[in-house]
Amino acid sequence: IAGITQAPTSQILAAGRRMTLRCTQDMRHNAMYWYRQDLGLGLRLIHYSNTAGTTGKGEVPDGYSVSRANTDDFPLTLASAVPSQTSVYFCASREGQSDTDTQYFGPGTRLTVL
Amino acid sequence: GQNIDQPTEMTATEGAIVQINCTYQTSGFNGLFWYQQHAGEAPTFLSYNVLDGLEEKGRFSSFLSRSKGYSYLLLKELQMKDSASYLCAVRSENQGGKLIFGQGTELSVKP
């Protein structure tokens, strides 16, 4: 069982370019999340999805969009990247059957926008 | 709103005990999580508290006082591999499974 995979592992991107970060889980979890982690700011929620077909905004959604066409995949898109989006991005998933469910994190994508 | 505070960094000696504190302010508290994150890696789940008291898991224990908005993570018999960042996260009612994370406490274990 792979758990949660993210791609790419790292990326350097020119400002203004479009970029999609991929996240796939094979645990059949209902809920999925995207976070960014910045030094001194901790993990901040960008977008989330409680179940396939639904999405919601987190703390810092501006400049990002997501889709949840099926249970396994939850891609995060930066329509026009800016340097302030340089960060480490983590995808997470949760079974979603009860409030005690734990979130499990993917390995992360390190993104640099120049 | 929600606010979570934990010390930025701590240092402890191998074999010792260390306590990492977390205070929080939230409406509709519905659980507190502790995660461990080694440098360059993903956070991994350590413990979960929703009722007052102590939860013990081997060398790691976590305590919660809901009336005080306070939790701590206790690490016993410290090992060098325990050097990592420890993240406190709070879940609120009516927020689904979303977590709000503190900034993390960077623990350095010295020989």
Supply the DSSP string of B41-110, one letter for each residue: S--EEEEEE-SSEEEEETTEEEEEETTTTEEEEEE-S--GGG-EEEEEEEEETTSTT-EEE---EEEEEE
Does A56 score more than 60 pLDDT?
Answer: yes
CB B23 within 8 A of CB B36: no
Cα B96 off chain centre by = 21
Dihedral (C-alpha) A97, A102, A106, A112: value to the nearest 10 degrees?
110
Please provide the average confidence, as pLDDT, over all residues in chain A: 93
CB A56 within 8 A of CB A66: no
The C-alpha atoms of residue B14 and residue A20 are separated, in whole angstroms, by 43
- Within 8 A of A58 by CB-CB distance, chain B residues are 98
CB nearest to B91's CB, from A59, A99, A107:
A99
Structure confidence at residue B95 (pLDDT): 66
Mean pLDDT of B63-67: 96
- Within 8 A of A45 by CB-CB distance, chain B residues are 98-100
CB pairs under 8 A between A and B: 54
Structure confidence at residue B3 (pLDDT): 87
**Separation in Å, CA of B101 to nearest CA in chain A:** 6
Please provide the average confidence, as pLDDT, over all residues in chain B: 93
Tell whether B49 is within 8 A of chain A (Cβ). Answer: no
Mean pLDDT of A65-78: 97
